[in-house]
């Protein structure tokens, strides 16, 4: 089943009538543990003045990279390399992502490692501006990446996602979580619990700042804030989500001890 995406036409129109820089689309493939893994990649076509950001984007359970590219992260950030990765079959023959360390022989963690190495060879990637985002099951995988690859990514943006009990990040990192109060597929209470873990890990629970309609930032001005965007809808990817994710990512680069 494809999760409902109510979002993207506005972003596309803004880029048509605005000043977005054109991106080139390619499909890349990598062998990982005997499987051919693939992704749709958008990269800036114009030569830049240095290394560029990289965004890895993970679709929801039962969805695919072709459909998920419709969220238009690449249009919201045409200066970045944006990669929509394809999951493998999980259950009921539908594609998705591992959500705990050790499950499915860590096939998706291995994919990320292989893909990152290849993308760094292919494009001039800024290693301090590498980001992960995903919707639903893909957002749960983004949370897993925070726990298992905290030194790789500068920030994470799970949408309509929760944390499995075994997934416990320990390194403070910037996190944006988008959640719907009427979500029945990933219960809102479970998403609130994930947000609470992020706030605790980042140590930002005592300082809150409003940042727009339904938006709250915990620890504004700190190296690892938690931003939450709570909407009144269900299990959806709201229209302005990609723009919010890009703005959040643009505000954060990887910090070094």
Per-residue pLDDT of the chain (257 residues; tens, 9 = 90+): 334 443 332 222 223 323 345 577 999 999 999 999 999 999 998 766 799 999 999 999 999 999 999 999 999 999 999 999 999 998 788 999 999 999 989 999 999 999 999 999 999 999 999 999 999 999 999 999 999 999 999 999 999 999 999 999 999 999 999 999 999 999 999 999 999 999 999 999 888 999 999 999 999 999 999 999 999 999 999 999 999 999 999 999 998 76
pLDDT digits (tens, 9 = 90+) for 31-72: 999 999 999 999 998 766 799 999 999 999 999 999 999 999
Which pLDDT does position 91 carry in this prediction?
A: 77
Length of the chain in terms of residues written? 257
> Would you give the DSSP letter of residue 71?
G
Fold (CATH) for 9-17+24-250: Rossmann fold (3.40.50)
Which pLDDT does position 13 carry in this prediction?
A: 26
Q: Residue 136: which of 236, 6, 11 has the closest Cα?
A: 236
Which pLDDT does position 207 carry in this prediction?
A: 86
Which pLDDT does position 92 carry in this prediction?
A: 82
Which pLDDT does position 113 carry in this prediction?
A: 98
Which pLDDT does position 257 carry in this prediction?
A: 63
Predicted TM-score (pTM) of the model is 0.90
Distance between CA atoms of residues 179 and 229, nearest Å: 6
Secondary structure (DSSP) of 22-47: PEEEEEEEEEETTEEEEEEEEEESS-
| Beta strand 23-32 pairing with 35-44 | antiparallel
Return left, alpha or beta for 212; rule: phi > 0 is left, psi -120 to 50 is alpha, else beta. left
């Amino acid at each position: 089943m494809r999760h409902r995406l109510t979002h993207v036409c506005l972003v596309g129109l803004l880029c048509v009538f605005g000043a977005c820089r054109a991106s080139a689309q390619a499909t890349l493939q990598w062998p990982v543990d005997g499987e051919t893994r693939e992704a749709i990649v958008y990269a800036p076509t114009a030569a830049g003045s240095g290394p560029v950001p990289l965004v890895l984007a993970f679709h929801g359970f039962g969805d695919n990279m072709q459909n998920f590219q419709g969220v238009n992260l690449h249009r919201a950030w045409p200066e970045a390399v944006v990669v929509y990765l394809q999951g493998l079959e999980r259950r009921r023959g539908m594609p998705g992502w591992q959500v705990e360390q050790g499950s499915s022989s860590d096939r998706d963690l291995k994919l990320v490692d292989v893909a990152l190495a290849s993308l760094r060879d292919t494009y001039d990637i800024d290693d301090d501006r590498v980001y992960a985002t995903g919707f639903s099951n893909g957002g749960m995988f983004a949370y897993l990446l925070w726990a298992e690859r905290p030194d790789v990514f500068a920030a994470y943006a799970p949408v309509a996602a929760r944390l499995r009990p075994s997934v416990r990040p320990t390194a403070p990192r910037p996190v944006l979580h988008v959640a719907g109060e009427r979500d029945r597929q990933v219960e809102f209470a479970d998403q609130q619990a994930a947000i609470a873990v992020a706030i605790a890990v980042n140590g930002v629970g005592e300082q809150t700042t409003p940042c727009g309609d339904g938006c709250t930032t915990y620890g504004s001005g700190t190296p690892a804030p938690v931003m939450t965007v709570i909407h009144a809808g269900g299990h959806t990817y709201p229209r302005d989500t990609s723009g919010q994710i890009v703005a959040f990512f643009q505000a954060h680069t990887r910090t070094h001890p």
